[in-house]
């Protein structure tokens, strides 16, 4: 009897805490960043699968993941979703997109790491789009990634930090250059996914972003990305080479990922060109 009474008290306390958190969560903005790669990926996948169907979708890696949807506010591309997944192959985002009954009008495919194969992390992320966990998260709001207390508070703190500028470092130049042409196989799985999207009426545009220490040694020369884009015949928005002409240099938070102010400028430039 005592055990049953104790269990009941625990359930009551848990219910009260959940109720209080439901109220607090509504007062805080929805997070756009998360404390771990997995939580960030889960948050983006859940929003893509369960939110309003976007007309424009960004698919890529953690590089394009820095282009937060809020950066596009007022740009004419407000109905945009970012499905760029940290530590994953761009193929995973394309497969999730193709798994939907209707594909977006426009997919902006980030050019970084196009040759990355699908690995264990990708299979784990693809599993999020199906099964009992997906049903639970769609029905019970508090189980979603963007409702986790740690994620909401982390997102709020990072947002506050961004407003104050934060600490960023400027890239020191390429360390691991990709400017020398390599002997690499054609990413056939990615190419098939692109062609399938096009067959379903989706326009696919390649976007190239600055990647800090992995920028090409010779920006004017051709590299593997240029050759693949030419092979696919895709329209391209090359924000990396365009940014070289900007008065304010691109800044990075870790020498690779875009700092917030630079990501915001690139998002504005991307929105202007994507609408054409």
Half-sphere exposure of 273 (CA within 13 A, CB side): 17
Tell me what pLDDT residue 17 has. Answer: 60
Contact 88, 121 (CB under 8 A): yes
The mean per-residue pLDDT over the stretch 246-253 comes to 91
What pTM, to 2 d.p., does this model score? 0.86
Beta bridge partners of 236: 206
Report the share of the chain in percent with pLDDT over 90: 49
pLDDT for 164: 44
Of residues 148 and 183, more confidently modeled: 148
Cβ pair 60, 90 in contact under 8 A: yes
Q: How far, in Å, CA of 226 to CA of 234, rounded? A: 10
- For the segment 194-219, the average pLDDT, to the nearest whole number, is 93
As a dihedral over the C-alpha atoms of residue 174, residue 176, residue 178, residue 183, rounded to 10 degrees, the angle is 160
| Domains assigned to the chain | 31-274 (3.40.50.1110)
The secondary element (H helix, E strand) that includes residue 110 is strand 106-110
What's residue 4's pLDDT?
A: 67
Write out the H or E segment, with its range, that includes residue 227: helix 224-232
Q: How sure is the predictor about 5, in pLDDT bands with cuts at 50, 70 and 90?
A: confident
- Alpha-carbon span 35 to 55, nearest angstrom: 28
Top pLDDT among 181 and 218 is at 218
Task: Report residue 28 as tokens.
Answer: 């805080």
**100-150: per-residue pLDDT in tens?**
999 999 999 999 889 888 999 999 999 888 766 666 566 667 778 888 888
Task: Spell out the alpha helix ranges (H) of 140-223.
Answer: 149-163, 188-199
CA atoms within 13 A on the CB side of 5: 2
Which stretch of 141-155, 166-180, 255-269 has the lowest confidence by average pLDDT? 166-180
Over range 42-67, report the average pLDDT.
94
Mean pLDDT, all residues of the chain: 84
Beta-sheet pairing, 80-82 with 56-59: parallel
Judge whether residue 20 has pLDDT over 80.
no
Q: What is the dihedral of CA 267, 269, 271, 273, to 10 degrees?
A: -150
Report the C-alpha dihedral over residues 89, 254, 183, 121, rounded to 10 degrees: -20
CA atoms 120, 114, 62, 234: torsion sign: negative
Q: Give the residue, 81 or 20, on which the prediction is more confident.
A: 81
Given a contact cutoff of 8 angstroms between Cβ atoms, the answer to whether 229 and 145 are in contact is no
Find residue 252's DSSP bridge partners. 169, 258
Backbone angles phi, psi at 109, to 5 degrees: -100, 115
In three-state secondary structure terms, 222 is coil
What's the whole-number mean pLDDT along residues 180-200?
85
Contact 63, 211 (CB under 8 A): yes
CA neighbor of 90 nearest in space, from 232, 242, 200, 223: 232
Average pLDDT over residues 85-89: 95
CA 85, distance to chain mean position in Å, is 5
């Amino acid at each position: 009897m005592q055990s049953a009474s104790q269990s009941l008290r625990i359930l009551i306390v848990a219910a009260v805490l959940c109720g209080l958190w439901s109220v607090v969560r509504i007062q805080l903005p929805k997070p756009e960043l998360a404390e771990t790669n997995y939580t960030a990926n889960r948050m983006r996948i859940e929003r893509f699968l369960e939110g309003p169907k976007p007309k424009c979708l960004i698919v890529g890696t953690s590089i394009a993941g820095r282009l937060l949807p809020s950066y596009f506010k007022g740009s004419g591309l407000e109905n945009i979703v970012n499905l760029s997944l940290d530590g994953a192959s761009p193929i995973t985002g394309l497969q999730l997109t193709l798994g939907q009954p209707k594909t977006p009008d426009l997919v902006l495919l980030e050019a970084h790491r196009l040759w990355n194969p699908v690995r264990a992390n990708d299979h784990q992320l693809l599993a999020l789009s199906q099964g009992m966990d997906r049903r639970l998260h769609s029905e019970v709001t508090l189980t979603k990634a963007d409702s986790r207390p740690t994620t909401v508070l982390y997102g709020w703190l990072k947002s506050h930090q961004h407003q104050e500028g934060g600490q960023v470092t400027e890239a020191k130049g390429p360390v691991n250059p990709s400017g020398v042409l390599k002997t690499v196989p054609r990413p056939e799985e990615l190419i098939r996914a692109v062609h399938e999207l096009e067959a379903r009426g989706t326009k696919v545009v390649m976007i190239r972003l600055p990647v800090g220490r992995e920028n090409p040694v010779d920006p004017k020369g051709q590299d593997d990305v240029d050759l693949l884009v030419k092979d696919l015949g895709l329209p391209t928005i090359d924000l990396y080479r365009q940014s070289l002409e900007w008065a304010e240099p691109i800044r990075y938070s870790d020498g690779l990922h875009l700092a917030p102010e630079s990501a915001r400028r690139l998002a504005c430039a991307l929105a202007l060109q994507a609408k054409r």
